[in-house]
Amino acid sequence: MKKLIIICALALLGINVEAQMKDVTVTLQPTASYNWFDKNTAIENGVMFGGRIGFGFGEAIELRGVYEISNDLNNTVEGFDIFSDDFVNNFNSRKVDIERIGGEFKANIPTRGTFVPYLTLGAGVQKLKVDIAAVGASSNVQKSEQIYANLGLGTQIKLGNRLFLNLEVKNTVFNMNPASVLYQEGQDQSTIEGWLNDNNNSRMYNWSALAGLQLYLGGRSPEEFSALDRAYYRKFSGGLGGFKLILEPGGAYVNFDNDSNLSDSYFLGGKIGFDLNQYVGIRGFYYQATKDEKISTDWDDLAMYGGEFIAKLNVSRGLVPYLTVGGGYLNAYKGSYIGKDQLTGASSGYFAKGGLGLNVPVGRNVEIYGDASMLFTSDRANNDLENTIAPSELKQHTMYTAGIRFQLGKRGDDTDEILEDKIDQRVEDRTQVYQNRIDELESELSDAYKNNDTKKAVAIIEEKKALEREQDGRQEPKTTLSKTAKDVKGSRVEMTPKELEDLIEKVIKGVDEESRKPQTIDDRMDRLERLLLEINTGAYRENLSPARQDGASKQIMDKLNELDSKMDKTTDKVNALGLSMMLGNQNQNQDKTVIINPSQQTTPAPQMTRPSTTTVVTDKDGNTILQSEPANTGVATGWVVNEGMSVFTGVVIADDVSMIIGIRGNYAFTNSPFKFMPDLYLAPGKNTGFGINANVVIPFMVNAGIILEPYIGLGLGYNDAVGVSTFSPNLVLGTTFNVFGGKLFADYTAHNFIDIHRISLGYKLKF
| Residues found in the chain | 767
pLDDT in tens, 341-358: 777 777 788 999 999 999
Q: Whole-angstrom Cα distance, residue 287 to residue 326? A: 15
Same domain, 392 and 474: no
| Contact between residue 280 and residue 57 where contact means Cβ atoms under 8 Å apart | yes
CA dihedral (510, 512, 518, 522) in degrees, to 10, reads 100
| DSSP 3-state of 170 | strand
Count of structural domains, the chain: 4
Q: Residues 264-272: what's their mean pLDDT?
A: 95
CA distances from 134 to 83, 138, 697 (A): 20, 8, 46
Candidate ranges 134-148, 254-268, 417-431; pick with highest mean pLDDT: 254-268
Split at pLDDT 50, 70, 90, the class of 136 is: confident
Least confident of 29-33, 296-300, 687-691: 687-691
Write the CA distances from 222 to 127, 418, 589, 635, 686, integer angstroms: 40, 19, 44, 20, 50
Residues 164, 108 share a domain: yes
Q: State how far the alpha carbon of 231 is from the alpha carbons of 174, 184, 239, 419, 638, in Å.
A: 46, 66, 9, 9, 13
Rounded CA-CA distance 124/137 in Å is: 34
The answer to whether residue 132 sits within a structural domain is: yes
Residue 264's CB is within 10 A of a number of other CB atoms, namely: 14
Got the DSSP string for 673-715? Answer: EEEEEEEEEEE-SSS-EEEEEEEEEEE----TT-SEEEEEEEE
- pLDDT at residue 48 greater than cutoff 60: yes
Lowest mean pLDDT among 149-163, 197-211, 536-550: 536-550
Instruction: Determine the pLDDT at residue 626.
Output: 40
What angle in degrees, to the nearest 10, is found between the helix axes of 415-451 and 546-588? 130
Residue 25 shares a structural domain with residue 66: yes
pLDDT of residue 170 exceeding 80, the answer is: yes
- % of the chain surpassing 90 pLDDT: 29
Q: What's the whole-number mean pLDDT along residues 229-254?
A: 73
CATH of the domain at 217: 2.40.160.20
Same domain for 216 and 153?
A: yes
With a CB cutoff of 8 Å and minimum separation 6, the contacts of 624 are 422, 423, 426, 616, 617, 618
pLDDT at 390 over 50: yes
Residue 570 within any structural domain of the chain: yes
What is the domain range of residue 685?
635-764
321 and 432 belong to one structural domain: no
Residue 145 above 70 pLDDT? yes
In eight-state DSSP terms, residue 410 is E
Average pLDDT along the chain: 76
Residues 200-216 have a mean pLDDT of 86
Read off the pLDDT band of 196 (50, 70, 90): low
Q: What is the pLDDT of residues 602-644, one digit of tens each?
A: 333 333 333 333 444 444 444 444 444 444 444 444 567 888 8
Please report which confidence band the pLDDT of residue 234 belongs to, taking 50, 70 and 90 as the band edges: low
Residue 457 pLDDT level (bands cut at 50, 70, 90): confident
Give the per-residue pLDDT at 322: 93
579/479: higher pLDDT: 579
Whether the predicted pLDDT of 222 surpasses 70:
no
When pLDDT is averaged across residues 249-253 and rounded to a whole number, the result is 96
- Determine the Cα–Cα distance for residues 177 and 175; give it in Å rounded to an integer: 7
Q: What is the pLDDT of residue 384?
A: 62
Task: State the pLDDT confidence band at 109, using cuts at 50, 70 and 90.
Answer: confident
Domain final residue pick, 224, 254, 274:
224
Which of the four pLDDT bands, split at 50, 70 and 90, describes residue 193?
low
Is 34 or 241 the better-scoring residue by pLDDT? 34
pLDDT given at position 604: 39
In a shared domain, residues 422 and 529:
yes
pLDDT of residue 260: 86
Distances in Å between the Cα of 351 and the Cα atoms of 193, 386, 395, 400, 726 are: 35, 11, 10, 15, 20
Is 624 inside any structural domain?
no
Q: Give the contacts of 100 (CB within 8 A, at least 6 positions apart).
A: 48, 50, 66, 67, 68, 69, 124, 125, 126, 127, 148
Whether the per-residue pLDDT at 75 is higher than 80: the answer is yes
Q: Are residues 210 and 291 in the same domain?
A: no
Q: Residue 600: inside a domain, yes or no?
A: no
Please tell me the predicted confidence (pLDDT) of residue 641.
81
The proportion of the chain whose per-residue pLDDT surpasses 70, expressed as a percent, equals 67
Whole-number pLDDT of residue 314: 76
Among the ranges given (21-25, 643-647, 648-652), the one the predictor scored with the smallest mean pLDDT: 21-25
State pLDDT tens for residues 614-625: 444 444 444 444
pLDDT of residue 488: 37
Q: What is the pLDDT of residue 220?
A: 64
Identify whether 606 is part of a domain.
Answer: no
In this structure, of 236-245, 433-442, 499-508, 706-715, the range with the lowest mean pLDDT score is 236-245
Which pLDDT does position 478 carry in this prediction? 42
Nearest by Cα to 114 from 199, 17, 26, 246? 17
Indicate if 99 and 50 belong to the same structural domain. Answer: yes
The average pLDDT across 666-688 equals 85
Nearest Cα to 324, choosing from 378, 222, 248, 408? 248
Domain end: 554, 572, 588, which one?
588
Q: Average the pLDDT over each of 64-73, 559-568, 717-726 and give the range with the smallest value.
A: 559-568
Single out the residue in 193, 224, 255 at which a domain terminates.
224
Question: Could you give the CA distance from residue 94 to residue 684 in angstroms, rounded to a whole number?
Answer: 45
Does 539 have pLDDT greater than 50? yes
- Supply the pLDDT for residue 494: 53
Give the max Cα distance, the chain: 132
Residues 282 and 173 in one domain: no
Asked if residue 619 is part of any domain, the answer here is no
pLDDT at 449 over 80: no
Mean pLDDT of 455-470: 75
How do residues 3-37 score in pLDDT, each as one tens digit?
444 444 443 333 333 445 667 888 999 999 999 99
Q: Assign 389 a pLDDT band (cuts: 50, 70, 90).
A: confident
pLDDT value at residue 301: 92
* pTM (two decimals): 0.52
Which strand (E) or helix (H) includes residue 568?
Answer: helix 546-588
The predicted structure's pLDDT at residue 497: 61
Q: Is residue 623 part of a domain?
A: no
**Residue 152 has what pLDDT?**
95
For residues 115 and 188, state if they share a domain.
Answer: yes
245: which strand partners?
274, 408
Give yes or no: residues 351 and 494 share one domain. Answer: no
User: Is 597 a member of any domain?
Assistant: no
Least Cα distance to 639 among 670, 667, 668 occurs for: 670
Residues 355 and 424 in one domain: no
Angle at the Cα of 457 (from 452 to 461), degrees rounded to 5? 150
Q: What is the mean pLDDT of residues 88-102?
A: 85
What pLDDT is recorded for position 529?
A: 74
